[in-house]
Structure 1
């Protein structure tokens, strides 16, 4: 995008970088903000009557030597492992979830899948439990997820729904 006021095909000023070319000058890219680029045009920094080269300007050389950050800094420590909000057999802590899981297992599975923005029939699967566990950095493995669903699918699904409800109450469900 060429700034208004830049004249002639031999030189142009851009918002992100200024490329000034005159007779006998070399190309030099300068990182400029929109305001700085506008000021450069108003001051005639990109005019054809410029006699000094861009590389002789110490400010231009200093600006051109700045490094661009391409990798953002990461957290120095890994997120801490958490645990399930309730145990696998804590059905009495939320009787509504327990009754729903016992008498309408598929409905509870669809509720869990809906909470997780997944397909309805995936709510009671090992994949859903593993996805939830890894999302919230809950300790365990795929094997423990599989065994809990194999041995007691109702309790496993109820635990998942109770955990979702607790995290919603705490405002840490996403």
Structure 2
């Protein structure tokens, strides 16, 4: 006598993104949110810490860039990670250039992207049991 297992796979919810594979705003689109860009320009470490926390990373992670040298490693790695998470086109080289020469603008762009991509997941036809 052999016993058989029947495995039933439930359909998984799928999410179709309405966003293209590009950044929602350019690196220098500061007019999209002037108060935020002023905050980033005048106190970039504070703004970077706030953005890092909002992204789900440790609050003081950007402060480690004090020990980073020429290229800000945290800014660059956060930008690369965000590109990978949101499937945004780009290159590691561009991330490096933006992080090095436009640090506050990079943090502003990442903040705008997080706000733009806050997607509420709603399950349709879900039954409470």
TM-score by length of 2: 0.67
Please identify which structure carries the higher strand content: 1
Structure 1 segments unaligned to the other structure (5+ residues):
1-26, 32-65
In the other structure, the counterpart of 2:43 is 104
Bigger relative contact order, structure 1 or 2 (CA pairs below 8 A, ≥6 apart): 2
> Is the contact between residue 44 and residue 104 of structure 2 (CA under 8 Å) also seen in structure 1?
yes
In the other structure, the counterpart of 2:112 is 162
> Is the contact between residue 148 and residue 156 of structure 1 (CA under 8 Å) also seen in structure 2?
yes
Structure 2 segments unaligned to the other structure (5+ residues):
63-73, 122-129
Aligned counterpart in structure 2 of residue 143 of structure 1, from 93, 97, 115: 93
Aligned counterpart in structure 2 of residue 85 of structure 1, from 24, 33, 39: 24
In the other structure, the counterpart of 2:56 is 117
| Deviations 1:4-23, CA, capped at 9 Å, x for gaps | xxxxxxxxxxxxxxxxxxxx
Alpha carbons of structure 1 residues 147 and 69: separation in structure 2 relative to 1, 3 Å: farther
CA RMSD of aligned residues (A): 2.8
Indicate the structure (1 or 2) with the bigger Cα radius of gyration.
1
In the other structure, the counterpart of 2:4 is 30
